[in-house]
C-alpha cells in the first residue's frame, strides 16, 4: 500500500513512496507552476539584460562623439549671407517677375531660332516686362531667397518659374543672333549665365544642381554663338573675361552643405507636424515636385506671401 503525504505548498494529498519524513513533498501541479514562474522570470531577466546592454553600448558609443553643437552656427559664411542687402539680392527681382505660362509645344533647343516653334516665339513676345526685370535681376551681385537657417519645404526654389526665366533669356539671345545682333545676343546669354549662378549661389544641393542644369544648356548655346563668324575677336575676348568673372560667383560646396544641413534639420523638426505627403493643403513638397508652386497658380508671388 502506497503512503500518502500532504503537498508542502497546497496541502493536496500526494501518493508518496519515501518513508523518510525529511523529504519535502511537492505535488505535480505546484512543480509545474514553479517551473512556469522560473521560466517567465528568467526570460524577463534575459530581455532586461539585453536591453540594458544595448543602452550601455549606445551610451558608450555616443560618449565618444564630441558635442560640437550646431556646426555652422557662427561661421563667417552665415554672417556673410545674413548681410546681403535687398538691393544686392537678385531674388528680390526674380521672385516678382510676372511671366505667362510656357507653351505646351516641345522645345528642343533654344539656340536654333529657325527651329523654335511659333508658340514659343509668341511667348517670348508676350514677356517683354519679364525680360526687362530679368536683365535687372541678373546684374545683382548676390542672390539668396531665404536665410540659411530658414530653409525648409515651405520656401524651396520655384523650379518651374526659374526654368521659364532661363528659357526666356536664351530664346531672346537666339532671336538677337538670328538678326545678326551678336553683341545683344551675348548680352542675353550672359544674363542667363548669371541667373544660373544665382540659382545655385546660396541654396541647397538641389538648387546647386538646378543652377548646374541651366549652366549646361547655356554653355551649349554660348558655344554655338562663339562659333558664329560674325562674332569678332574683341567680342570673344570680352565674353571670355565675363564668363570667367561670372563663374567666380559659383559658391564653395561648403555653402551648399551649410544650407542643406539647415534644410534637413528644419524638415525633420517639422515633418511629424505639418508636412505629411497625404495631408490636404498646403503641401509645399508636392507643389515643388510638380514644378507648379501654388503661388504661380493663384497669382501671388513669394514676396507677397511673407
Would you tell me which residues interact with Zn ion (CB under 5 A)?
7, 9-10, 12, 27, 30
Give Dmax over CA atoms of the chain in angstroms: 127
Residue 13's SS3 state is strand
Give min distance, CB of 37 to Zn ion, in A: 14
Q: Rounded to the nearest whole angstrom, what is the least distance from the CB of residue 29 to Zn ion in the complex?
A: 6
Provide, rounded to whole angstroms, the least separation between the CB of residue 63 and Zn ion: 52
d(CA 213, CA 296) in angstroms, rounded, equals 22
Q: Which is nearer to Zn ion, 15 or 101 (CB)?
A: 15
The candidate with the shortest Cα–Cα distance to 223, out of 261, 191, 185, 169, is: 185
Question: Which CB atom, from 26 or from 147, has the smaller least distance to Zn ion?
Answer: 26
CB 91 within 8 A of CB 198: yes
Nearest approach in angstroms of CB 3 to Zn ion is 17
- Give the nearer residue to Zn ion in terms of CB position, either 23 or 49: 23
Q: What is the grid cell recorded at 52? A: 540594458
Q: Which is nearer to Zn ion, 30 or 226 (CB)?
A: 30
Q: Select 12 or 57, whichever has its Cβ closest to Zn ion.
A: 12
CA-CA distance, 46 to 100, in Å (whole number)? 68
Question: CA-to-CA distance for 111 and 256, rounded, in angstroms?
Answer: 30
Q: How far is the CB of 11 from Zn ion (least distance, A)?
A: 7
Query: By the 8 A CB rule, do 90 and 103 touch?
Result: no
Residues in the chain: 306
Tell me what percent of the chain is helix, strand and coil, each rounded to the nearest 5.
60, 5, 35
Nearer to Zn ion, 26 or 206 (CB): 26
Which residue, 27 or 84, has its beta carbon nearer to Zn ion? 27
Residue 15 gets which letter from DSSP?
Answer: E
Rounded Cα distance between 125 and 127, Å, is 6
> Minimum distance between the CB of residue 42 and Zn ion, rounded to whole angstroms?
22
Least separation in angstroms between CB 40 and Zn ion: 19
* Whether residue 94 has a cis bond before it, omega within 30° of 0: no
Amino acid at each position: 500500500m502506497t503512503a500518502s503525504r500532504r503537498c508542502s505548498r497546497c496541502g493536496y494529498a500526494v501518493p508518496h513512496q519515501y518513508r523518510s519524513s525529511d523529504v519535502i513533498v511537492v505535488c505535480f501541479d505546484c512543480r509545474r507552476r514553479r517551473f512556469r514562474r522560473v521560466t517567465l522570470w528568467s526570460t524577463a531577466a534575459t530581455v532586461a539584460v539585453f536591453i540594458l546592454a544595448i543602452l550601455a553600448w549606445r551610451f558608450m558609443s555616443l560618449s565618444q562623439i564630441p558635442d560640437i553643437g550646431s556646426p555652422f552656427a557662427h561661421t563667417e559664411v552665415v554672417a556673410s549671407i545674413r548681410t546681403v542687402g535687398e538691393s544686392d539680392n537678385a531674388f528680390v527681382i526674380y521672385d516678382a517677375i510676372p511671366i505667362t505660362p510656357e507653351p505646351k509645344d516641345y522645345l528642343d533647343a533654344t539656340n536654333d531660332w529657325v527651329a523654335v516653334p511659333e508658340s514659343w516665339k509668341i511667348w517670348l513676345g508676350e514677356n517683354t516686362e519679364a525680360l526687362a526685370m530679368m536683365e535687372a535681376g541678373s546684374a545683382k551681385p548676390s542672390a539668396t531667397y531665404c536665410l540659411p537657417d530658414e530653409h525648409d519645404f515651405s520656401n524651396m526654389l520655384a523650379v518651374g518659374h526659374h526654368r521659364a526665366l532661363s528659357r526666356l533669356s536664351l530664346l531672346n539671345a537666339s532671336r538677337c543672333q538670328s538678326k545678326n545682333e551678336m553683341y545683344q545676343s551675348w548680352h542675353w546669354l550672359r544674363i542667363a549665365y548669371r541667373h544660373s549662378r544665382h540659382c545655385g549661389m546660396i541654396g541647397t544641393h538641389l538648387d546647386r544642381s538646378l543652377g548646374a542644369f541651366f549652366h549646361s544648356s547655356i554653355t551649349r548655346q554660348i558655344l554655338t554663338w562663339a562659333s558664329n563668324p560674325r562674332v569678332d575677336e574683341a567680342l570673344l575676348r570680352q565674353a571670355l573675361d565675363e564668363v570667367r568673372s561670372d563663374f567666380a560667383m559659383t559658391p564653395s560646396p561648403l555653402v551648399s552643405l551649410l544650407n542643406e544641413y539647415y534644410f534637413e534639420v528644419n524638415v525633420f523638426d517639422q515633418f511629424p507636424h505639418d508636412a505629411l505627403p497625404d495631408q490636404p493643403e498646403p503641401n509645399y513638397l508636392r507643389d515643388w515636385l510638380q514644378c507648379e508652386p501654388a503661388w504661380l497658380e493663384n497669382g501671388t508671388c513669394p514676396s507677397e506671401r511673407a
